[in-house]
Amino acid sequence: MRIVAALAAVLVGLTAAPAAADAHSKKSYVKVGYFTQWGIYGRGFQLAKVDQSGAAARLTHLNYAFGPVTAAGVCDSADAWADWQTPFPAELSVDGVADTAEQPFAGNLNQLAELKKKHPKLRVLISLGGWSGSAYFSDAALTDASRKKLVSSCVDLWIKGNLPGLSAGVAAGIFDGIDLDWEWPGSAGNDGNVIRPEDKHNFTLLAKEFRRQLDRLSRKTHKDYDLTAFLPAAPAKIDAGFEAKKIFKYLDFGTVQGYDFHGSWESRTNQQSALHVPKGAPDNPDFSIEVAIDTWRERGAPSSQLVLGIPYYGQGWTGVTSGANGGLFQPATGGAPGTFAVGTEDYKVLKTLPAKGFTVHRDWRAGHSYLFDGTTFWTYDDPAQIRQKTQWIKDQRLGGAMMWSLDGDDEQASLTRAVSAGL
């Protein structure tokens, strides 16, 4: 299934006429990268690397993940040490100057401030919730009073910058908006999450309240604040949790999960982020980017406000005994060993595997790539695959691309550079 570059370019362009691509080549696309709060620990990934790699200069938005919603129905820090306490030495600091005990605050928030100073057009958003921080969203969104309480606390902490124990407004101006990452309203997410049928309508009301309070603050500060949301790909989750015709009245855009369609929780190798359902796929119906985006549009979401999520990691299986179809759709014994978790691995590691006996396979018609060495199988995106996806984003008149997460890229920010070049 290897293919020469010239043929690949032809197949990439099958979905639209050249005139359509040219007509939208000057459109302004958002390019959203997630930075993980905990990445500064085991991963050793600081915001200085986002700058030094060239990624920051190629993003329009950086989402800082995550700020949890507590059982008390308010916003809080998941790790104050990482957020505003830990000092960075000069070599790990965005501005190349070591933090000192005399400065108002340190941590990632101070690094974000330094990053914005170097890249003043970069919009920085606090992302609320996440897989492990969404347990109490349903409670907080349940009533008018609880919604007002939650939103007020989030605006106070993150937008107004009132960090606990520090001077009022000490971190004001760092965040330019809020990203809602409630996983998932009306349907199962992490174990222990509170779920209600009313979540679907309450998500709309919550977005409305965030928009109301952000706009009210904007009239005082004369700054615009973004409101975005991370949205699921599965049609069942879309229908259970979101009023697609209504929420985009309040959101600037929504990022659609374009990955984790399959993974090592299943006993058969598969694609995790294909543009279209591949020929011969054993599941019917199956997941794909096309299915996800079309579902949102059919429910009333505007194309221009849908932003496609792209993974900077792969899903992997091992114990694959059949080499048929390059290992795709074959039985496996379990998840492939990964650096931080079984079954997942960063792009920066996967890119090295072709030199270690893995063959790269590409299905340009379905829009996905994978690696196989006869035993272990990885589904992943590389720069070539991302260029196909960015062309599809333009052909479909979508709003841009989102990347989870920046720490999975290599030191040259090869994936982010590919997104930027494509959009």
Own/partner long-range contacts of 41-47 (Cβ < 8 Å, ≥24 apart): 41/82, 42/340, 43/340, 43/407, 45/406, 45/407, 46/88, 46/92, 46/93, 46/111, 47/94, 47/108, 47/111, 47/112, 47/114, 47/115
User: Tokens 């309508």 belong to which residue?
Assistant: 201
| Cα 29 to Cα 20: distance, rounded to the nearest angstrom | 16
| Nearest C-alpha neighbor of 381 from the set 295, 310, 288 | 310
Q: List all residues 6 or more positions away from 156 whose beta carbon is below 8 Å from its beta carbon.
A: 75, 162
Alpha helices in 193-234 (DSSP H): 199-221
Given the residues 91, 102, 114, 183, the one annotated as active site:
183
E-strand ranges in 80-130 read 123-129
How is residue 379 written in tokens? 């589904």
Q: Name the β-bridge partners of 61.
A: 32, 123
Helix 5-12 and helix 383-395: axis angle, to 10°?
A: 30
298 catalytic residue (yes or no): no
Backbone angles phi, psi at 36, to 5 degrees: -90, 130
Q: CB of 397 within 8 A of CB of 302?
A: no
Q: List all residues 6 or more positions away from 91 whose beta carbon is below 8 Å from its beta carbon.
A: none
Helix 383-395 and helix 414-422: axis angle, to 10°?
A: 30
Backbone angles phi, psi at 109, to 5 degrees: -65, -40
How is residue 113 written in tokens? 């401030």
| Cα 354 to Cα 296: distance, rounded to the nearest angstrom | 36
Residues with catalytic roles? 183
